[in-house]
Chain A
């Protein structure tokens, strides 16, 4: 009788359905396709990483050579540079921004980058020279920490919410809680260009304008060439727009992507407006995302324990790719992410917004011909 019961028990858990379920859990829980590499905020083997509770990576930008610049949040804000190509492979902690506990944006120009940080006194812009990351980090090297230049508040006592670079104009456009401002990289001059309540991140559109949310249903627009600021310039599509916006930009076409609070994804072109829903992420909300060179959008979604997804805009299809896990360079699970950029060769670089944050390099699966 006991034997029979044991056999029945085994049979119950070995049906084709249960075997498929086991396989699904085994293969789909983590990084179902492509490769994740978690890279620590240090020069491995040479320096210590940024203090764990000061290393929540919340802002990233990248220059054409592939060097990544970023900022952290936590007990203190650090700014850093990172390089992964050639004979580099290091994150260089550029230093701590006095009095800052949050970095909301990093915007790269030709010679400098500007980090937008918040602290008890409000939001400020910090200008830093671009550092070279081209030494032979296998053989011998030399580093020098750059000096930070505090460009001051962006709007009196208001925290900065986000900012984006307009590299060809050496300009940054940003938003505080109540205002929109521009910053000239060459002079460091900050000027308020309009007033609008912040609604999340900003995006640079296909025609070179900057957009940000200014009401439950609309976007403002700023034209860097004419310096014209216009509220309610674009209508958001049907959907749930009750959250802070997040964007990803295709650098080849200028098309940007965003998602509503339910996790539905849309594209936006300044000329043609918003698309119909392109798909829905496995779990809302949509988190940081970036567009690789073939137009696919990779991002994270869901709170507390984010899941990777891929949107193929041409097929209007979203694939769930599982949670983040790295087994190369560092063995680590990735749960919360703060920003994303597209690397030099189309890899996606995610900033981990967690204690002990790492830069997560995601190499998407190569599409079969």
Chain B
């Protein structure tokens, strides 16, 4: 059922939902089951088969209902991305393959490497294909860093291009692969299965790309700006949406074959921001696909709800900030102040991970706790109240930055983890309480990365 459309201002949202530091322990206790065991249990799964992996920029449920994760190696010269899948029988990650090897672009090529999959998984339900596209940033094997701008005109060093891999989850093999975007990486990917069309954003030039998986034809629709939106969503009318540098929606309508820009920006904090950099970070459709929940890729990220089928341009509800208040004179790190991992679970609630950090004035976390925490929140779409259900706990590092989240076919939550200093890299599994799970909880499936 569609919730009553209301605009929630920041003050209301904070008043009704945010746990203060003092209330955290109470909130934590509130999620304990009657037998004393945590209702939501959290476990970390390291990429043990890829010790060079340093990040997990992409995690998604596949068309088979299983969880796929990108073990990325962007910090190691010559590093490449390997595909992992959660094995529920053995309760561990299975290593499937090295993408660089599969697309004939090995890590020792001397070029920038096929080092990661960045928000670029896209499942296809009709044929069981899991599409995935690679991204750049990993340096050549003999250099310490890589700049796509610096090396653009260098044929020996320049990234060959984002590779698109069609992995057949039924046959357990790669059906085919192609170069999706020459010389550039794929920042994010979405799939319109009814139109056989993939949508992608290129990096660094920020072009909007379409790709027909039947004809294997690529089209460059043109530049958007300088800062990639970190996600693309598709509405029921087959329109693809992302954002520009100033937080305006950018829409591609296949019938018009043209990009359009919305007049209004997405919500941002007007106390100290201008809308610049308020680009999409993460996006998830409500189970009925009537609206999209989104967060922005900027410090002080906000949660919002977008209704794409209302009016000429979608109606956008500002659901307020998702992280704590802070000193507005200080440029906070985007790796500290972050929200991602949006996903709907079988209980019809929105789950996401927002960071929390120690701040002497705004959030004096006691010294026995981690300086930075990744909080798993559960938001009721009807009441817009949220509750803290658990914390992500990494064996050695902090876990405040989550890239993507997904629910598998059993109804459990998974989150990709980013912390370059927090090796081992890997993913989190949050086992849901039994009464909040169901079979095929991953459906309707998310079709963007």
- B143 contact set on A, CB distance < 8 A: 18, 21
A332 x B226 contact (CB < 8 A): yes
A333 x B226 contact (CB < 8 A): yes
Flag A22-38 by CB within 8 Å of B: 1 or 0 each: 10010011100000000
Binds A, one of B17-25, B53-61, B149-157, B305-313: B149-157
A356 x B225 contact (CB < 8 A): yes
B258 x A30 contact (CB < 8 A): no
Q: For the complex, is A302 an interface residue (Cβ under 8 Å from B)?
A: yes
Partner of A22, one of B144, B183, B244, B276: B144
Q: For the complex, is A75 an interface residue (Cβ under 8 Å from B)?
A: yes
Q: For the complex, is A307 an interface residue (Cβ under 8 Å from B)?
A: yes
- A332 contact set on B, CB distance < 8 A: 225-226, 245
Kindly provide the distance from the CB of A304 to the nearest chain B CB, expressed in whole angstroms.
7
- B27 contact set on A, CB distance < 8 A: none
CA distance A53 to B257 in the complex (A): 12
Q: For the complex, is A260 an interface residue (Cβ under 8 Å from B)?
A: no
Q: For the complex, is B259 an interface residue (Cβ under 8 Å from A)?
A: yes
Flag A338-356 by CB within 8 Å of B: 1 or 0 each: 0000000000000000111
- B152 contact set on A, CB distance < 8 A: 302, 304-305
- B364 contact set on A, CB distance < 8 A: none
A29 x B149 contact (CB < 8 A): yes
Kindly provide the distance from the CB of A96 to the nearest chain B CB, expressed in whole angstroms.
16
- A29 contact set on B, CB distance < 8 A: 147, 149-150
CA distance A53 to B208 in the complex (A): 12
Partner of A18, one of B144, B225, B261: B144
A331 x B223 contact (CB < 8 A): no
CA distance A17 to B263 in the complex (A): 49
Least CB separation from A38: chain B residue: B226
CA distance A356 to B153 in the complex (A): 23
Q: For the complex, is B254 an interface residue (Cβ under 8 Å from A)?
A: no
Within A321-369, which residues are at the interface with B (CB < 8 Å)? 323, 331-333, 335, 354-356
A355 x B147 contact (CB < 8 A): no
Kindly provide the distance from the CB of B221 to the nearest chain A CB, expressed in whole angstroms.
9
Q: For the complex, is A283 an interface residue (Cβ under 8 Å from B)?
A: yes
Q: For the complex, is B204 an interface residue (Cβ under 8 Å from A)?
A: yes
Within A170-219, which residues are at the interface with B (CB < 8 Å)? none
A331 x B150 contact (CB < 8 A): no
Flag B148-170 by CB within 8 Å of A: 1 or 0 each: 01101100000000000000000
Partner of B149, one of A22, A53, A283, A333: A333
Partner of A323, one of B149, B183, B258: B149
- B183 contact set on A, CB distance < 8 A: 304
B153 x A305 contact (CB < 8 A): yes
Flag B328-354 by CB within 8 Å of A: 1 or 0 each: 000000000000000000000000000
Least CB separation from B261: chain A residue: A52
- B175 contact set on A, CB distance < 8 A: none
B226 x A331 contact (CB < 8 A): yes
Partner of B150, one of A18, A28, A354: A28
- A53 contact set on B, CB distance < 8 A: 222, 258-259
- A13 contact set on B, CB distance < 8 A: 77, 144
Flag B53-76 by CB within 8 Å of A: 1 or 0 each: 000000000000000000000000
- B149 contact set on A, CB distance < 8 A: 29-30, 305, 323, 333
CA distance A250 to B442 in the complex (A): 66
- A305 contact set on B, CB distance < 8 A: 149, 152-153, 205
Kindly provide the distance from the CB of A331 to the nearest chain B CB, expressed in whole angstroms.
7
CA distance A332 to B276 in the complex (A): 11
B153 x A302 contact (CB < 8 A): yes
Flag A267-301 by CB within 8 Å of B: 1 or 0 each: 00000000000000011000000000000000000
Within B275-315, which residues are at the interface with A (CB < 8 Å)? 276
Q: For the complex, is B84 an interface residue (Cβ under 8 Å from A)?
A: no
- B150 contact set on A, CB distance < 8 A: 25, 28-29
- A356 contact set on B, CB distance < 8 A: 223-225, 244
CA distance A75 to B258 in the complex (A): 9
CA distance A13 to B276 in the complex (A): 35
- B5 contact set on A, CB distance < 8 A: none
- B261 contact set on A, CB distance < 8 A: 51-52
CA distance A189 to B309 in the complex (A): 53
Q: For the complex, is B145 an interface residue (Cβ under 8 Å from A)?
A: yes
- B77 contact set on A, CB distance < 8 A: 13
CA distance A18 to B139 in the complex (A): 13
Q: A53-B258, A305-B152, A305-B205 are in contact. Are A354 and B144 (CB under 8 A)?
A: no
Kindly provide the distance from the CB of A191 to the nearest chain B CB, expressed in whole angstroms.
38
CA distance A21 to B222 in the complex (A): 33
- B145 contact set on A, CB distance < 8 A: 21-22, 25
CA distance A355 to B223 in the complex (A): 6
Least CB separation from A12: chain B residue: B144
Q: A25-B150, A333-B204 are in contact. Are A354 and B258 (CB under 8 A)?
A: no
Q: A305-B205, A332-B225 are in contact. Are A25 and B153 (CB under 8 A)?
A: no
CA distance A355 to B224 in the complex (A): 7
CA distance A28 to B150 in the complex (A): 8
Q: Which of B153, B204, B276 has the most CB of A within 10 A?
A: B153
B226 x A307 contact (CB < 8 A): no
Kindly provide the distance from the CB of A40 to the nearest chain B CB, expressed in whole angstroms.
10
A307 x B147 contact (CB < 8 A): no
B276 x A355 contact (CB < 8 A): no
Kindly provide the distance from the CB of B294 to the nearest chain A CB, expressed in whole angstroms.
22
- B225 contact set on A, CB distance < 8 A: 332, 356
B276 x A331 contact (CB < 8 A): yes
Within A15-66, which residues are at the interface with B (CB < 8 Å)? 18, 21-22, 25, 28-30, 48, 51-53
Extra inter-chain contacts (12) besides given A332-B226, A354-B223, CB under 8 Å: A13-B144, A25-B150, A29-B147, A29-B149, A48-B263, A51-B261, A282-B153, A302-B152, A304-B152, A305-B149, A333-B149, A356-B244
- CB<8 Å pairs between A and B, sample of 22: A13-B144, A18-B144, A21-B144, A22-B144, A22-B145, A25-B150, A29-B147, A30-B149, A48-B263, A53-B222, A53-B258, A75-B258, A283-B153, A302-B152, A304-B183, A331-B226, A331-B276, A332-B226, A335-B205, A355-B222, A355-B224, A356-B224
Top 7 A-B pairs, shortest CB-CB distance: A13-B144, A355-B223, A305-B152, A29-B150, A283-B153, A355-B222, A333-B226
